Every structure is written in structure tokens, then in C-alpha cells.
């Protein structure tokens, strides 16, 4: 009995340490606050842990926390520690309420459905408020490094334009500066040593040269962005400042360096569960929590049964209801076989279609569950008919494009030469028909703090994300298996 | 005269054992990994099992026809099919929704032992095997392709990397890349010819890769006409050669 009381006491103390309901969670640019080494924020599952591995850090004058452009935004507007270094739809709605839509995160350029819309109306920001999506305007056709137009293998037409942006005479595909607008979630700027590791000279999925870091000349992992368009953290930061912050003057090399230095030492992971208490500490799986992310080696393949993607969860088997469920979820992730079918850059690269495997086949990189090789894959979230949009082409909240592949190009491996899509993904950068709908997979850490999910924000909850996979691959998961997977993902 | 007769007999026997055809693949589930099969002329042939990206056999794909070029191997049926070994698999690029047969596992139909099962891998990553005799002098590397394809499979990827490493190590004076396209003779007497321009595209791609891997002075050539087929060794002619001269 005494031992039970002691354990409960420790759990309560640790829980209290991770709960801090009173402090503001949204960091405004130029707020000047000092970030502690370890911080904790409430999320839907309990508590998110945020670790600044370099120790406490003043944000005063720091370029990540200072607007460098013309619209009042800084990096932090879209990469908030409280939301896993991304932003959640819940957080954005709260921000709208508190600022009456005046926060720079709602900037007309990309924080609204289209800059030409009346900016004081919620409906003009519906994709950001409902799905956490920012507008990503991409030049069409894509350009080579020297600015010349890239050869593309397909034509693109707008067949549905609920935001008005793709048919706009000012911002659309037929404007003076032809642009395709797609809508995507911001990726977490955390745990980045894992995201940027694993670069190989030749991309396994295409048999072509990987992009190189312009500074070092070394091949990069191409796992940083939804469409892998930026090779390095530095080029990403520069592009984000010139685009999302609408800067007229590029930031200085020193500013870029400071941004990358900050991003490279932030780790986020779930720290505690609302009922289960702390997820880290003695008797907990070694892969959980921010310290594990800080300490683990990057670039390690985890699709094996001896050194798994998120470590072993055997300590929690037969434990309390929640922990046992998480451990079962980890087993489902690693071992539950199903038919992976019609997924470009998985089935099409020599593995066969269908492929009888598990979640960890694709989500194979230790500690984050990204793909260790350049990770763009078409699992069907954006392409009709498997896409995440409810109902027909006409009911999509997102723009719908018709892609028609040239006769001499390789078609999309499973959809052929005419494809309807809400986001052509990698194809908007590569110009390749076979890349239509391929999206770089995301890391699976700090998920509970940053709903909604998928690059198009279509899954409001982890359960909806699991339901998509269950439908898409006919996994035949039971309700208990789905709950276990949700608990497992929410503990990461 | 006798030599010619023997050669003719050999060819006749060899061709009798050869099966070159285009058809829909059939996937047969088992309690371990799936088997990949294909039907031709009323007979079922076993092509291979699901493995991983590093394996020699890359399975075909449902939703696509497959060009099978293989030789009947001795031994019992596997997964219900006559085994073809060696076998070359080329996925036809255009989608064919009729190719959609996935058979359930059945008692008594087992896949051969697989180096990797359907779950996560159990194999430990091995270090490099014993020291290899270092290459010296002029050396030709050959990159092979599936029919009508310029995608560099995993193994071919390794050949290019090895060629680049060799060229850089010896400071090659000449690196000559030559691309080819070929003809496949089918068992029904028809021929399939790889598309025009493919030889050049293959060669250019390899030259670009070598350049990106730090090899300079790469000369590129390609043979515009498709090489003739013989119905037995056709997969070996879908290639790019990299001739490296010190």
C-alpha cells in the first residue's frame, strides 16, 4: 500500500510538472520572452514537451521571432512551440477570436484562401481556420535552378475553384505570372536532425540525382517539405521569409544561420497523457519524450523487429489500460500486415503491387516515422477517387485540377493519363506525371498538439487519419485496433 | 556441318524451354509472403515471391500487364505454377484495370522460404563482405533495364555508383557511356521493339548521374536502331555500358 501511494505521489508530482494551464501559449513576434530549456503545453491528449537542447534562449531580436518582411509575420507565427512547432486549427481559431482576425498569421497573401478576397471575413480564411491550411502559390511551369522553365510532362486545368484563386486573373493559372495555388499544412520545425538525415546521391524512388545543398554540394534527404522543393534548412528559411513573410530584402546570412541554429535544437514530443500521466521516466519505452529525440542517432532504419522505429514498448504490455493500449498500437504499427496497393513510389519501385507489409515499411525512419529515403509517396490523399475529400469532385473544399499526361511520358502508375487531384504534390516541382499526388511523408512526433492531419488538413483527429488508412488499404482494423493505434500515435 | 546441326538442335531445345509473353500477373497470397504468377497459353508460371528492394527479383504489379521473359526451371511447381528461372520482369507502363487477380491463401500452397517475411525485417545489417579484388585498367560496367523503361532499379543504381567511384579513383581519362534499346522476341513469334529515343534517354540519364557523382569528361553515344532479339538473351541487350579507361 505504501509503495502504491509512493508511485501515485510521484506520478502526480510529474503530472503537475507537465501541466501549466495559466501561461499564454501563443508567442507573438517581438514578445521578447525567454524560452526555458524544457517547456510543456496542454494539448488534446495531455501535455506536449518542448526541449531547447541548447538551454534557455532569449527571443529578443532573434530572427525566428522577429518579422523580417512586410506583413508583420515572423517564423514563429506558423511554427509555435505550443503546437509542436506547427499550428493547430484549434489554436488558429482561438487566435482569430482574440485578435478579430488581425493576427499576421491571417495575412492576405497566404493566410487567406486568396489575397483578393475580403480579408475581414472568416469565410475568406476558411481553409486556414477549418483545416490549418496555408496557400502555397507555385509558379507554373516550374523553373530550373537557372530560372528557365522546366520541361513538364502534363497539362494542368482548373476544374473546380472554390477559393477563386486558381482562376483569378491576378493570382491564377492564367494570370500574368501563371501560378498554381495549393493549400498545405505547415510542417513542424522540430526534431530536424532526423528530417534532414539520410541524403543519398541517387534517389531510390526515381533513379535520378538527389538535390544538393547549394552551400556544401552534398546530396540532401529531400524530406523537408511537402513537395521537397527546398533542399536545405537555409534555403527553406530564405524562401519562407521572401514568401510567407513577404520580405522585400533577403535576410542576412547571419539571420538565416540563427534561424537554422534555433530550429536544429528544438525537440517536440508528447510528454504526458491526460489520464495516463507522464510518458517518460523509469519503466517507460525508451523512444518516448523529447530527451530521447535529443539523444538518439539520426538516419537509422527502424523497419526491423530488433531495433524498431519508436523502440520497444514491452514495458507497457499488461500495464494499465492506456499503456497496454499504446503498446498494442506500437505492435500494430510494426507488425500488423495488410495489402499496400497502388501507392506510387512504394509499389512502383520494384516492391510489387500489392505488397503485403506493415505501417513501418513506409514509416521506417527511427524516432520520426518518416521514410529514410526521399519520402514522396502517393498514398491517395489528394488524387480522385481515393482522396480525402468527402463525396464527389463537385463537393471538394479544395481546388480540383485535371492533369493530362503527354503521350510520350510515363503515366501515373495507377491512375493513368488523366488524373483529378486537389494537389499534384511533387509533380508541381518535378514536372513528372508519375509524381502527381505524391506528397513527402511527415514526421509522427508531437501529433496531439497539431491537428488536423495530412498535408491537406483533412483528418480532424488521429482517428480520422487512421480511418483513412483503414479504408484506403482495406486494413480491416477492429475498433479496438483503431483505438490502440490512435493512443500509440498520440503518445509520440 | 555437324556443328551447325548441334547448334540448331541446341537453339530448338533452348527455345522450347523459353517462355516470353505478355499477360496480366496473378498474385497468390500464402501464409507468409505472396507469390507472383502469370498465365500463358493455358499454363500457369511461377515468377517469384515478394522480397525487398535489394533482391534480384522485382515482382510485377496488378493494374499492369507484364512482359515475362524466362526459362522453365527443373523442379516441382511452386505456388501452383511452373517455375521460370532466370526470369526477367518488365511492367507495362500503361494501366490495365483488368489485371486485378489476387487469390487468397489456400492450405497446401506455400511460398518458398523468403529472406524477408511480410513483417519488419529480421536481418541484421551486415558489414561489407571480405575485401574485393580492386579493379584495375579499362573496365566496362553494364546497367540493365526493364523493357521500355529508363528507371534505374536498386541494383543498377549500385552499378552507376561503383562506376563513378572507380572513374574517380583512377582519375579516368576517358569515360564513354553508350545507350541501347532492344527487341524482345515472344514465344508466339511476335516481336516487341523498345520505343525510339530510349537508347539516347538512357545514356543521357547515366551521363547526368555520373556528372552529378563527380565524374567529368563523360562522352555519350547511343545506337538509334533497336538491337535484334533472339528470344533468349533479350533482357541483356536493354542496357547502357560505361567504359572507363585510365
Domain assignments of chain B as residue spans, ordered by start: 2-103, 139-245
Region A459-475: what's the mean pLDDT? 98
ipTM of the complex: 0.92
Nearest to A414 by CA among A433, A388, A390, A439: A433
Instruction: Tell me the mean pLDDT in the region A456-484.
Output: 98
Average pLDDT over every residue of A328-339 = 98
pLDDT at A319: 84
Instruction: Pick the closest to residue A373 from A301, A434, A444 (CA basis).
Output: A301
Dihedral sign computed on CA atoms, order A2, A3, A7, A8: negative
Q: Hey, what domains does chain A have and what are their CATH numbers?
A: 2-138+186-266 (no CATH), 298-490 (1.10.760.10)
Which residues, including other chains, have CB under 8 Å from residue A201's CB and lie 6 or more apart?
A209, A210, A219, B161, B212, B213
* Chain A residues with CB-CB distance to B119 below 8 A: 305, 334-335, 337, 357-358
Q: In angstroms, how far is CA A85 from the centroid of its own chain? A: 10
| pLDDT of A4 over the 60 cut | no
Mean pLDDT (chain A) is: 94
| pLDDT reading at A275 higher than 70 | yes
Give the chain B residue nearest A332 (alpha carbons): B119
pLDDT of residue A19: 47
Distance between CA atoms of A355 and A339, rounded to whole angstroms?
6
Query: Is the overall model pTM greater than 0.90, yes or no?
Result: yes
Q: Comparing C-alpha atoms, which of B76, B66, B59 is closest to residue B24?
A: B66
**How confident is the model at residue B129, as a pLDDT?**
63
Q: pLDDT of A34-66, one tens digit each? A: 999 999 999 999 999 999 999 999 999 999 999
Interface of B with A (CB under 8 A): 27, 29, 33-34, 36, 50, 52-53, 58-64, 93-95, 102, 118-125, 150-154, 156-157, 160-161, 205, 208-209, 212-213
Residues of chain A positioned with their CB less than 8 A from the CB of B198? none
Q: Number of Cβ pairs closer than 8 Å across A and B?
A: 108
Report which DSSP code applies to B147: T
Residue A285, CA distances (Å) to A49, A309, A462, A475 in order: 16, 12, 21, 26
CA pair distance B27, B35, nearest whole angstrom = 6
The pLDDT value given to residue B133: 79
Q: pLDDT, tens digit, for every residue of B192-214? A: 999 999 999 999 999 999 999 99
| DSSP calls for A368-384 | T---SS--EEB-SSSBT
| Confidence (pLDDT) at A10 | 36
State the residue for C-alpha cell 498569421. A105
DSSP-assigned states of every residue in A249-272: SPPPHHHHHHHHHHHTTEEEEEEE
In this complex, the residue of A201, A305, A412 whose CB is nearest that of residue B122 is A305
Pairwise CB contact (< 8 Å): B34 & A353: no
CB contact under 8 A, B95 and A206: no
Segment B76-94 shows an average pLDDT of 98
A218: Cα within 13 Å, side-chain hemisphere: 9
Annotate A405-422 with DSSP letters as a single string: E-TTSPPBTTTBTEEEES
Name which of B112, B126, B57, B54 is nearest B80 in CA terms.
Answer: B112
Nine-digit cell string for B47: 515468377
pLDDT (average), residues B208-228? 97
DSSP string of B55-100? SS----BTTS-EEEEEEEPSS--BTTBEEEEEEEEEE-SS--TT--
Contacts with B33 from chain A: Cβ below 8 Å: 356
pLDDT band at A2 (very low <50, low <70, confident <90, very high): very low
Tell me A358's DSSP state.
-
Over residues A163-218, the pLDDT tens digits come to: 999 999 999 999 999 999 999 999 999 999 999 998 899 999 999 999 999 999 99
DSSP-derived secondary structure for A441-456: PPP-SSGGGS-SBTTT
Closest partner residue to B118 among A202, A209, A337, by Cβ?
A337
DSSP calls for A176-200:
SS-EEEEEEPPPP-SSHHHHT----
Give the pLDDT confidence of A6-28 residue by residue, as tens digits. Answer: 333 334 334 444 444 445 589 99
Provide the percentage of residues in chain B whose pLDDT is more than 90: 86
**Average confidence (pLDDT) over A138-167:** 95
CA atoms within 13 A on the CB side of A403: 31
Phi and psi, residue A119, nearest 5°: -80, -15
Answer yes or no: do B63 and A342 touch at CB < 8 A: yes
* C-alpha of A172 from chain center: 26
Tell me if B102 and A339 make a contact (CB, 8 A cut-off).
yes
In the numeric block, the cell 510529474 is attached to A14
For the domain with range B139-245, which CATH number is right: 3.90.960.10, 3.30.565.10, 3.40.50.720, 3.30.1330.60?
Answer: 3.30.1330.60
CB neighbours of residue B42 within 10 Å: 5
CB contact A304 to B (< 8 Å): yes
pLDDT tens digits for range A69-99 = 999 999 999 999 999 999 999 999 999 999 9
Amino acid at each position: 500500500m505504501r509503495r502504491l501511494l509512493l508511485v501515485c505521489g510521484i506520478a502526480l508530482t510529474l503530472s503537475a510538472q507537465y501541466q501549466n494551464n495559466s501561461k499564454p501559449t501563443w508567442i507573438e513576434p517581438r514578445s521578447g520572452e525567454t524560452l526555458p530549456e524544457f517547456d510543456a503545453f496542454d494539448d488534446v491528449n495531455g501535455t506536449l514537451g518542448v526541449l531547447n537542447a541548447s538551454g534557455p534562449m532569449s527571443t529578443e531580436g532573434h530572427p525566428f521571432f522577429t518579422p523580417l518582411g512586410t506583413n508583420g509575420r515572423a517564423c514563429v507565427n506558423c511554427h509555435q512551440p505550443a503546437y509542436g512547432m506547427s499550428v493547430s486549427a484549434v489554436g488558429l481559431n482561438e487566435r482569430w477570436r482574440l485578435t478579430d482576425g488581425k493576427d499576421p498569421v491571417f495575412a492576405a497573401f497566404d493566410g487567406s484562401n486568396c489575397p483578393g478576397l475580403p480579408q475581414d471575413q472568416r469565410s475568406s480564411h476558411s481553409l486556414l481556420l477549418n483545416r490549418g491550411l496555408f496557400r502555397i502559390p507555385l509558379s507554373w511551369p516550374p523553373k530550373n535552378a537557372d530560372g528557365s522553365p522546366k520541361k513538364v510532362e502534363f497539362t494542368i486545368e482548373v476544374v473546380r475553384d472554390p477559393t477563386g484563386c486558381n482562376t483569378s486573373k491576378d493570382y491564377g493559372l492564367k494570370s500574368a505570372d501563371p501560378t498554381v495555388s495549393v493549400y498545405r499544412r505547415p510542417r513542424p520545425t522540430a526534431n530536424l536532425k532526423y528530417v534532414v538525415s539520410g541524403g543519398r546521391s541517387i534517389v531510390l524512388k526515381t533513379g535520378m540525382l538527389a538535390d544538393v545543398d547549394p552551400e556544401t554540394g552534398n546530396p540532401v534527404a529531400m524530406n523537408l517539405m511537402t513537395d521537397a522543393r527546398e533542399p536545405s534548412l537555409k534555403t527553406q528559411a530564405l524562401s519562407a521569409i521572401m514568401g510567407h513573410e513577404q520580405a522585400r530584402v533577403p535576410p542576412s546570412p547571419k539571420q538565416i544561420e540563427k534561424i537554422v541554429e534555433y530550429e536544429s535544437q528544438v525537440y517536440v514530443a508528447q510528454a504526458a497523457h491526460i489520464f495516463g500521466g507522464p510518458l517518460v521516466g523509469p519503466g517507460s519505452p525508451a523512444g518516448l519524450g523529447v530527451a530521447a529525440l535529443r539523444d538518439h542517432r539520426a538516419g537509422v532504419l527502424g523497419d526491423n523487429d530488433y531495433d524498431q522505429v519508436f523502440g520497444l514498448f514491452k514495458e507497457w504490455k499488461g500495464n494499465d489500460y492506456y499503456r497496454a493500449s499504446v503498446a498494442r498500437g506500437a505492435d500494430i504499427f510494426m507488425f500488423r500486415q495488410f495489402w499496400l496497393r497502388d501507392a506510387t513510389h512504394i509499389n512502383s519501385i520494384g516492391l510489387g503491387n500489392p505488397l503485403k507489409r506493415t505501417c513501418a515499411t513506409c514509416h521506417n525512419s527511427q524516432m520520426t516515422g518518416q521514410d529514410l529515403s526521399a519520402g514522396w509517396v502517393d498514398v491517395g490523399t489528394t488524387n480522385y477517387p481515393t482522396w480525402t475529400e468527402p463525396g464527389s469532385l463537385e463537393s471538394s473544399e479544395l481546388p480540383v485540377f485535371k492533369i493530362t499526361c503527354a503521350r510520350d511520358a510515363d503515366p501515373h502508375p495507377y491512375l493513368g493519363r488523366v488524373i483529378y487531384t486537389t494537389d499534384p504534390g511533387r509533380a508541381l516541382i518535378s514536372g513528372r506525371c508519375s509524381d502527381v499526388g505524391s506528397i513527402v511523408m511527415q514526421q509522427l512526433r508531437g501529433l496531439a498538439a497539431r491537428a488536423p492531419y495530412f498535408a491537406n488538413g483533412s483528418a480532424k483527429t488521429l482517428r480520422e487519419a487512421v480511418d483513412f488508412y483503414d479504408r484506403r488499404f482495406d486494413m480491416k482494423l477492429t475498433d479496438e485496433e483503431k483505438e490502440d493505434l490512435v493512443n500509440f500515435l498520440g503518445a509520440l | 556441318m555437324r556443328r551447325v546441326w548441334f547448334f540448331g538442335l541446341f537453339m530448338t531445345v533452348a527455345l522450347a524451354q523459353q517462355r516470353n509473353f505478355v499477360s496480366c500477373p496473378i498474385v497468390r497470397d500464402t501464409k507468409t509472403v505472396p507469390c507472383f504468377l502469370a498465365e500463358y497459353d493455358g499454363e500457369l508460371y511461377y515468377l517469384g515471391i515478394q522480397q525487398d528492394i535489394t533482391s534480384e527479383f522485382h515482382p510485377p504489379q496488378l493494374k499492369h500487364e507484364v512482359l515475362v521473359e524466362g526459362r522453365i526451371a527443373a523442379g516441382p511447381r511452386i505456388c501452383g505454377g511452373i517455375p521460370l528461372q532466370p526470369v526477367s520482369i518488365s511492367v507495362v507502363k500503361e494501366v490495365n484495370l483488368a489485371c486485378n487477380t489476387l487469390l487468397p491463401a489456400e492450405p497446401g500452397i506455400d511460398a518458398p522460404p523468403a529472406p524477408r517475411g511480410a513483417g519488419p525485417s529480421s536481418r541484421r545489417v551486415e558489414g561489407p563482405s571480405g575485401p574485393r579484388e580492386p579493379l584495375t585498367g579499362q573496365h566496362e560496367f553494364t546497367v540493365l533495364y526493364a523493357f521500355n523503361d529508363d528507371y534505374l532499379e536498386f541494383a543498377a543504381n549500385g552499378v552507376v555508383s561503383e562506376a563513378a567511384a572507380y572513374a574517380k579513383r583512377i582519375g579516368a581519362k576517358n569515360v564513354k557511356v553508350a545507350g541501347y534499346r532492344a527487341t524482345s522476341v515472344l514465344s508466339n513469334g511476335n516481336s516487341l521493339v523498345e520505343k525510339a529515343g530510349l537508347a539516347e534517354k538512357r545514356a543521357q540519364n547515366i551521363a547526368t548521374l555520373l556528372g552529378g557523382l563527380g565524374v567529368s569528361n563523360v562522352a555519350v553515344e547511343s545506337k538509334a536502331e533497336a538491337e535484334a532479339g533472339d528470344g533468349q538473351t533479350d533482357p541483356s541487350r536493354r542496357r547502357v555500358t560505361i567504359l572507363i579507361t585510365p
